[in-house]
Structure 1
Amino acid sequence: MPAAKTALGRIAPLAEEDTLSLGERAYRRLRECIVQGVLPAGRKVSERSLATQLGISAQPVREALRRLEQDGMVVTLPRRGTVVAEMGPAQLAELGRIRAALEGVAAALAAERMDAAGLSRLAAILARMKSGTEAADHDALDEANEEFHALIHRATGNLFLIRSLGSLRAYDNLGRHRAIGSQPRDLPKALREHRAIVAALRRRDPALAEARMRGHILRSLVTNGVLPPPPRRRPAR
């Protein structure tokens, strides 16, 4: 899908060669525009205007806005119509904790259900993560990270969990977009955490996979400024 980033309030039209349904493509593009700030919080949106900018009819836009409202990314207000929802630090922190819990559940299920082919694909992704870490290539790491988690989600076979995590990852991206982001010194730590998660999956240990995944997500949320650092433990006397 072509990049959605453009001038504030302007949305790139959808490409004809995309093979997803118009409703799905519109949903993904508008969600991306909200995450990137192209459609900022409080901005009023209308089906007709969005359809014109996307180069499609109003029906798939109506479908996309309905899904975005279910995700909490837009709201319908009396006498104002549909607007992009305000998403403050406290809300992002709450959603981050929810995502950490669900990602842990997904890892536990994947430890029970992922087949050998899935584990091999994870190993290949880890190799790309290693290269991206050594080169400090954030774009390559972001792409590999998305594939890593999506593969674990699919291995659960739980459609409700997959959809819930898909919605929550949009908020995670929103939090990262607003934050400073990971520093080069944080990248090796993330690679070690991903390797530890894969090791738990290979051991078919659901409890260990869940704990490692949840810890990884919470640590990344702290790194990206979505969650505050945990309080330091006082040394025992």
Structure 2
Amino acid sequence: MLASALLPLSDTETASLSDRVYGRLRDAIIAGSLVPRARVSERMLAGVLGVSAAPVREALRRLESEGLVITLPRRGTLVADFGPEQLEKMGRIRVALEGTAAAFAARQATPEHIEALTAQLAVMREATEAGDAEALAQANERFHDMIHEIADNAFLEQMLRSLRGYDRVGRRRILAAPGELKLALQEHAALVEALRERDGEEAEARMRAHALRSLQQAFWAPFDAPGHGGKLA
């Protein structure tokens, strides 16, 4: 199964070997080619990808820091479980953390920060109008990273980084939803306006509403299933 999920790395790729291994494994996990709870090891992955163990070891460390793999005593390294219950838990935590980051960013935002965010919105708008989901996913991730950087809170950024795996799994589902691209762009633009006004309370509220709606959009079934009480509130 591992061999069918991954292909050997090409010598023509220009990124560092560690980055290439990381990218290949990350994409396979997000796409579901490496299934949740599948056991992976440095030796197995190195053999399939045709590389030494060192770049695989570094890639697995990065993936673990982002929550995409976990290491358990006596069981080794496993692909993280992105089942409905786990995704709901991670999603609710992300809503709170993203809202807090927006509130901090509103206090710290300078005119230069707002200018940079506005420029990033233009990049997102261009990808939205082109219907380029991959470019938009990258631009969206950069936009949120910029908010985190403006917030300038190392502890908060570390916690958000640990949820990056959830972000990437969720974004793939969110961007596939009809009408989602334009609505998300409007919500991001409204957030920038709150930051421009340095209104921390409004920025937090808008970011939380955006993240919560995205959570519903990406993982509707879990929240509408018996035992979950219908829609998120």
TM-score interval, normalised by the smaller of the two chains: 0.7 to 0.9
- On the 8 A contact 1:92/1:172 being kept in 2, the answer is no
Cα distance, 1:139–1:86 mapped onto 2, change above 3 Å: closer
CA distance in 2, matches of 1:120, 1:58: 43
1:222 matched to 2:216? The reply is yes
Match among 30, 36, 43 for residue 38 of structure 2: 43
The 5-angstrom pairing of residues 1-237 of structure 1 reads: 8-13=4-9, 17-18=14-15, 22=18, 26-69=21-64, 71-76=66-71, 80-177=75-172, 181-183=176-178, 185-226=179-220, 228=223, 231=231
CA distance in 2, matches of 1:31, 1:65: 9
CA distance in 2, matches of 1:179, 1:149: 15
Q: CA deviation at 1:77?
A: 5.2
**What TM-score do you get using the length of structure 2 for normalisation?**
0.80
Q: CA deviation at 1:139?
A: 2.7
The equivalent of 1:3 in structure 2 is none
**What TM-score do you get using the length of structure 1 for normalisation?**
0.79
CA distance in 1, matches of 2:69, 2:125: 38
- Tell me, what secondary structure is at the counterpart of 1:17? coil
Q: Which moved more, 1:79-88 or 1:187-196?
A: 79-88
Cα distance, 1:179–1:67 mapped onto 2, change above 3 Å: same
Q: CA deviation at 1:53?
A: 3.9
CA distance in 2, matches of 1:28, 1:109: 31
Cα distance, 1:182–1:34 mapped onto 2, change above 3 Å: same
Q: CA deviation at 1:88?
A: 0.8
Deviations 1:28-64 (A, max 9, x none): 5423321122321232211112223445432342343
CA distance in 2, matches of 1:179, 1:210: 21
Indicate the RMSD between aligned Cα atoms, in angstroms: 3.1
Cα distance, 1:133–1:61 mapped onto 2, change above 3 Å: closer
Cα distance, 1:11–1:165 mapped onto 2, change above 3 Å: farther
Match for 1:115: what amino acid?
A: T
CA distance in 2, matches of 1:215, 1:14: 42
- Tell me, what secondary structure is at the counterpart of 2:208? helix
Q: Which moved more, 1:106-115 or 1:47-56?
A: 47-56
Identity of aligned residues (%): 49
Q: CA deviation at 1:84?
A: 1.7
Match for 1:91: what amino acid?
A: Q
Cα distance, 1:121–1:11 mapped onto 2, change above 3 Å: farther
Q: Which runs of 5+ in 2 are unaligned?
A: 225-229
The equivalent of 2:227 in structure 1 is none
CA distance in 1, matches of 2:59, 2:21: 6
Q: CA deviation at 1:72?
A: 4.2
Match for 2:191: what amino acid?
A: I
Q: Which moved more, 1:119-128 or 1:56-65?
A: 56-65
Q: Which moved more, 1:88-97 or 1:129-138?
A: 129-138
Q: CA deviation at 1:188?
A: 2.6
